Structure 1
Amino acid sequence: MPELPEVETVRRALAGLVVGRKVVKVDLLREDYLRGGKEWLHRIHDARIVDAIRRGKFLALLLSNEIVFLHHLGMSGRLLYVPNEMPIETHVHLRIRLDAGTHELRQYDPRRFGFFAVMQQNDLSRFPSWALLGEEPFTISPSRFAALLTERTRPIKSLLLDQHVLAGLGNIYADESLFRARIHPARPAGTITHKEAATLLRNIRNVLKEAIRYGGTSTNDYRKLDGTLGDFQNLLRVYGREGKSCKRCGNAIIRRVLGGRSAHFCPVCQPSFDAIPT
């Protein structure tokens, strides 16, 4: 699933390529891909895109007529800026035609866990998928982050993946951040000290910033807005490296299932709390 760095990479590209452009037409190639707002589609003709914003793993395009396009890429989705004449691939469910140009936006999603929604701007903050998101890693304070962990019995990896707690992290960047902070993914969140929480938050931010700088991680389906690969997969230290040597100590990286999700870690650099057999 595209995580915060991938979505932010797409957002920045959108800001440079489509902000200021007018929407000419929206073509839904699958009616069931629209998660609400069909009644607003008749209002979008010649509305100008005035901003592209991100919240967690969600993208929103704000239009000049107070309408919002909300995009979620799900597990395998891509938002692409492609030539108008390019043949429409299987699994393209949405086309957004733009004025005075040779390119359009297309949303591609083979597994269809993503969606597109249209609404008025004042309804965005009440849209469930957006409204229930937790705090952003770049804006939450260290004290607030530490407070979110207090008295929690859930494994810290599971808590970091909870979008209602912290918005934007997924498997890749939770694993990478915990490795850098030397925290075992199965450690109960409530046992993490304020000092360790501050270290973890700093490493979360550093990992996310680096991943954004390298255009995100293309291990499976993710592509940037222009269809090219991100490069952060070449810098991963634990995620997807099961059985390979730890880049810090040389021991083998382990993969275990934790709360139904994979967790990659170094058993030496990240001391075990015996929640996962090693």
Structure 2
Amino acid sequence: MPELPEVETIARALAPGLIGRVATGITVPDRKVLAGPATPDAFADAAVGRVIETVGRRAKLLLVTLGPRPQLPDSGPAVLALHLKMTGRFHIAPSAVPPPAHARLLLHLSDGNALVFSDMRRFGTARLVTPEALAAWTFYASLGPEPWDMTPDAFEAALCRKTTRIKAAILDQTVIAGIGNIYADESLFAARIRPDAPANSLTPARRRKLLTAIQAVIARAIAAGGSTIRDYRTPDGVEGGFQHQFTVYGKAGQPCPACGKALIAIKVAGRTSTFCPQCQK
């Protein structure tokens, strides 16, 4: 599943081709993608005529803000919230070009192009809501702070009483938003913390070190354009580059880059977790 760095990379790449364009139509090859409004006609009615004002992200959600409809100036803005789930991809292409086989939704634009949302596994979703409805959406409202918005004191308060294992804690989107399996493993190695250590067993200093590691790893991953393991591509169709900087993720049996001892893999919170038994205590 694309994590924070991948969705941030996508948002930054899409913004120049979307901002200032007017939504002129919707094509929905697969209605399963619609999380609301539930029909293509209702979705189109809510979107068409609006100017795209911003393209951003919250946690692993891509957020496209559309301005009020000109014919209804009191209508207020709307937000297109797109969840990529496992295999969601985006690109901008001429509307006249036949969409790819796994296209689920196309947002047609006033410049003759379309934002194309493709998803081979068909788990991704699109919802068009008011900002107020977005804020009230249970999933959205439950999200914890972004890594850069999380203060050391808030991180300490969130973890000091948790008996869950530390990797499970940082995968919990209500604790800190946007972290998935890749960046959890990489951050825990950078902080030299075992993924199965109980969160409340760590000293405050080690928990603060972990927050610093998370912020640094995420920043490096964004700078590299995210990580491509299988499906992820940028809107330009290229792979991310951070997979070439992995220290432990997916490298069980290989030597630790710090001490040379073989890395091992265990299950934590149902996810394969790779770490160094020598360096990570």
1:78 aligns with 2:106: no
1:49 aligns with 2:52: yes
User: How far apart, CA to CA, are the structure 1 residues paired with 2:148 and 2:166?
Assistant: 18
Following superposition, the deviation at residue 129 of structure 1 comes to: 2.3
Following superposition, the deviation at residue 26 of structure 1 comes to: 1.3
- Output one character per residue of 1:30-83: Cα deviation in whole Å (capped at 9) or x when no partner: 112100124353132221100112111011111011121110000111122234
**Which residue number corresponds to residue 238 of structure 2?**
228
Give the number of aligned pairs: 270
User: How far apart, CA to CA, are the structure 2 residues paired with 1:114 and 1:229?
Assistant: 20
* One-letter amino acid of the structure 1 residue matched with residue 207 of structure 2: A
* One-letter amino acid of the structure 1 residue matched with residue 190 of structure 2: R
**Which residue number corresponds to residue 68 of structure 1?**
79
* One-letter amino acid of the structure 1 residue matched with residue 84 of structure 2: L
Contact preservation (8 Å) 1:149, 1:192: no
Other structure's SS at 1:35 match? strand
Other structure's SS at 1:148 match? helix
**Which residue number corresponds to residue 275 of structure 1?**
none
User: How far apart, CA to CA, are the structure 1 residues paired with 2:121 and 2:43?
Assistant: 26
User: Could you tell me which of 171, 193, 204 is aligned with 2:214?
Assistant: 204
User: How far apart, CA to CA, are the structure 2 residues paired with 1:89 and 1:45?
Assistant: 23
**Which residue number corresponds to residue 176 of structure 1?**
186
User: How far apart, CA to CA, are the structure 2 residues paired with 1:245 and 1:74?
Assistant: 32
Other structure's SS at 2:15 match? helix
Other structure's SS at 2:36 match? coil
Question: After superposition, where does 1:114-133 map in structure 2 within 5 Å?
Answer: 114-133=124-143
Change (3 A) 1:50 1:251: same
Other structure's SS at 2:104 match? strand
**Which residue number corresponds to residue 71 of structure 2?**
none
**Which residue number corresponds to residue 276 of structure 1?**
none
**Which residue number corresponds to residue 237 of structure 1?**
247
Question: After superposition, where does 1:1-278 map in structure 2 within 5 Å?
Answer: 1-38=1-38, 39-65=42-68, 66-101=77-112, 103-271=113-281
Other structure's SS at 1:125 match? helix
Following superposition, the deviation at residue 221 of structure 1 comes to: 0.8
Following superposition, the deviation at residue 86 of structure 1 comes to: 3.6
**Which residue number corresponds to residue 73 of structure 2?**
none
User: How far apart, CA to CA, are the structure 2 residues paired with 1:150 and 1:227?
Assistant: 42
Following superposition, the deviation at residue 87 of structure 1 comes to: 3.1
User: How far apart, CA to CA, are the structure 1 residues paired with 2:237 and 2:96?
Assistant: 16
User: How far apart, CA to CA, are the structure 2 residues paired with 1:252 and 1:83?
Assistant: 50
- Output one character per residue of 1:245-270: Cα deviation in whole Å (capped at 9) or x when no partner: 11111111111112211101111110
Contact preservation (8 Å) 1:40, 1:119: no
Following superposition, the deviation at residue 88 of structure 1 comes to: 2.0
- Output one character per residue of 1:225-261: Cα deviation in whole Å (capped at 9) or x when no partner: 1111110000000001111111111111111112211
User: How far apart, CA to CA, are the structure 1 residues paired with 2:169 and 2:28?
Assistant: 36
User: How far apart, CA to CA, are the structure 1 residues paired with 2:258 and 2:97?
Assistant: 46
- Output one character per residue of 1:199-233: Cα deviation in whole Å (capped at 9) or x when no partner: 11011000000000010000111111111111000
User: How far apart, CA to CA, are the structure 1 residues paired with 2:144 and 2:259?
Assistant: 34
Other structure's SS at 1:237 match? coil
Other structure's SS at 1:17 match? helix
Query: Mind listing any 5+ residue stretches in structure 2 that lack a counterpart?
Result: 69-76
* One-letter amino acid of the structure 1 residue matched with residue 82 of structure 2: H
Query: Mind listing any 5+ residue stretches in structure 1 that lack a counterpart?
Result: 272-278
TM-score normalized with structure 1 length: 0.93
